[in-house]
Amino acid sequence: MHNTFRSLSNPNYRIWAAGALVSNVGTWMQRTAQDWLVLSELTHHNARAVGIVMALQFGPQLLLLPLTGMAADLLDRRKLLLFTQAAMGLLALALGLLCISGLVQLWHVYIFALLLGCVTAFDSPVRQTFVSEIVSEKDLTNAVALNSTSFNAARMLGPAVAGILISSVGTGWVFMINALSFAAVIASLLMLRVGLLRAAPRLKASRASLLEGFRYVRQRPDLVSILVMLFLIGTFGLNFPIFLSTMSVTAFHAGAGQYGILSSIMACGSVAGALMAAGRDQPRLALLLGAAALFGFGCALAAVMPNYWLFGIMLVVIGVAAQTFTTSVNSSVQLSTAPAMRGRVMAIVLAISAGGTPLGAPVVGWVADTFGPRWALGIGALSGIAAALVGVRYLVKHHGLRLQFDTQRWRFALSGGQH
């Protein structure tokens, strides 16, 4: 147990984790309220509208990729985080005021989603790499996993609270509470002991530095394989707002409270996956392969579940698989990347993870509207299986993965080491 939570012995990490937890709860409350606002208040169960909001919110991470990665490696990460967190709080406040005043329209949500996406594009890579300035290299995997645990623990609480608040006081107050929650992470950043931070190497701004991250990744077949796997699952599999909202509303005819509970149920699996990752020292590609395959089969089984609670049970499995996969991607990429390149490489990782949404979310939303939400989950299942096959191909080509008969049983064996 001590090994699982060892990063909390670092005073700076404790301060950072406390502020992040409060903000994460608010973020998940807003995500739930935003999806519900679009799906049930501004449209008549239009999953494509939810997909458009997701595309606008996550698209900037792809479009602004060269700039965001360079900013994370060039600028003071703590100061940049203070700016981005304050900006996101103001956006939540403005959207909340529109909802409370009764003036909100669908195009307003589209604009705020785009603005939030632009700010998040700069916030995400610096927030992911800032942890390497707080803890040592040997604790980096643990700290990344604990960050994921915090994020998903908030996912358990946030949607359930949001569902209650939506039913009782309306969506606008959920956005207002989220705006207030950003004060916690801003306070934690101001309270950090700057002298204990491990300053990362800073690059000098140049046109060449914009593309250096792509050149670095291109020379690393292990990173290329991981990014292709991430693209498949991130684009077509991690569309949980569409999966959960459409299954809840159209397949099980549930209300806002039950929709929030489904999000919290899946977060239970995500927390379990993150805690398991926190106990590992070094993630391996074979773990990514297994998590991708489990995600695919979990989505396939969830698609055929006949009732609300059986569907919820499968969401736990999907949560474990998805969190194991994404946490392992994050820590394995950071640990295997040169410190001076982390910001740019992590920007690529996050752009693929979130930036694939503009491609996948509208497609998944169209499938949900045209053929039903169960078929949309089938798209997620195919993404997991395809990603697992990409991992198998890499291990076969670069590490001699083969199936051999040994001591009266079949087993997989590698001829070389593994990144």
DSSP letter for 57, please: H
Query: Phi, psi (5° rounding) for residue 254?
Result: -95, 165
Residue 16 and residue 148 in contact, taking contact as beta carbons nearer than 8 Å: no
Torsion 223-225-228-229 (CA) sign: negative
pLDDT of 79 reads: 93
CA atoms within 13 A on the CB side of 391: 26
pLDDT of 418 reads: 44
Instruction: Look over the chain and give the mean of its residue pLDDT values, rounded to a whole number.
Output: 84
Task: State the distance between the two ends of the chain, measured CA to CA, in whole angstroms.
Answer: 27
Query: Over 50: is that where the pLDDT of 234 sits?
Result: yes
Tokens at residue 309, please? 């609670």
Query: Over 90: is that where the pLDDT of 346 sits?
Result: no
Confidence of residue 214 (pLDDT cuts 50, 70, 90): confident
Scanning the structure block, which residue is given the tokens 């080491």? 417
DSSP letter for 415, please: S
SS3 label, residue 405? strand
Confidence of residue 377 (pLDDT cuts 50, 70, 90): very high
pLDDT of 202 reads: 61
Beta bridge mates, 404: 411
pLDDT digits (tens, 9 = 90+) for 244-282: 888 888 888 877 678 778 877 887 887 788 777 776 666
Confidence of residue 115 (pLDDT cuts 50, 70, 90): very high
Q: Which stretch, 143-157, 292-306, 345-359, has highest mean pLDDT?
A: 292-306
pLDDT of 16 reads: 93
- How far is Cα 105 from Cα 125, in angstroms, rounded to an integer? 31
Q: Could you tell me which of 298, 277, 286 has the C-alpha nearest to residue 385?
A: 298
Beta bridge mates, 405: 410
Confidence of residue 344 (pLDDT cuts 50, 70, 90): confident
Higher pLDDT, 200 or 134: 134
